[in-house]
Amino acid sequence: MTNQTLQQYGTLSVGDELPELRQRVDQNMIDAYADASGDVNPLHIDPEFAKTTMFGQTIAHGLLTLAFVSRVLSKWNWQGWAYGGELNIIFLGPVYPGDEVRVSGYVDLIEERDNDIYARCQLICHCGDREVVKGEATCKILIEKLQIK
């Protein structure tokens, strides 16, 4: 079975940007995520313990940052993301209380395979100039349900 790459499919083109998200993270949000997720690693919620680590202060759960990435993909392409979406990311640096996380991304590949169209998106999360998360997501494209930026 062969895969065919496309530069464009319907109104979607390689290079299209995903809707950007900016989210301020504070200790209250980190605590709420710890409560919701049950991940009470003291690195996230105990400032005294966190001082003894290489970070010197509490940091947000990496998976909280991924929740922001998922919000972007859900807004852009809920159907394709929630039903068959795949995410591969690397955590590059910590998110500290007070940071604003900026999630951005763009379509870098459109591919036809198995009679379906898939888009691969390059994603990056910044806190100021720092890259904190980087990776890619692939999801099926249902062109009529896309929210173009």
Which residues contribute to the site for another protein (CB under 8 A)? 23, 29, 32-33, 35-39, 41-43, 49, 53, 61-64, 66-71, 74-75, 78, 81-91
> Nearer to another protein by C-beta: 81 or 96?
81
Measured from the CB of residue 129, what is the shortest distance to another protein in angstroms?
Answer: 21
Measured from the CB of residue 80, what is the shortest distance to another protein in angstroms?
Answer: 10
Measured from the CB of residue 8, what is the shortest distance to another protein in angstroms?
Answer: 26
Give the amino acid at 41. Answer: N
Give the amino acid at 59. Answer: I
> Nearer to another protein by C-beta: 65 or 126?
65
Measured from the CB of residue 63, what is the shortest distance to another protein in angstroms?
Answer: 4
Measure the CA–CA gap between 121 and 139, rounded to whole angstroms.
Answer: 9
> Nearer to another protein by C-beta: 13 or 53?
53
Give the residue among 18, 117, 109 at the shortest CA–CA distance from 68: 18
> Nearer to another protein by C-beta: 85 or 97?
85
- For 26, phi then psi, to 5°, come to -125, 175
Phi and psi based region of residue 44 (left: phi greater than 0; alpha: psi -120 to 50; beta: remaining): alpha
Measure the CA–CA gap between 64 and 6, rounded to whole angstroms.
Answer: 33
Surface-to-core class of residue 23, CB atoms within 10 Å of its CB (0-12 exposed, 13-18 middle, 19+ buried): middle
Measured from the CB of residue 94, what is the shortest distance to another protein in angstroms?
Answer: 8
> Nearer to another protein by C-beta: 13 or 100?
100
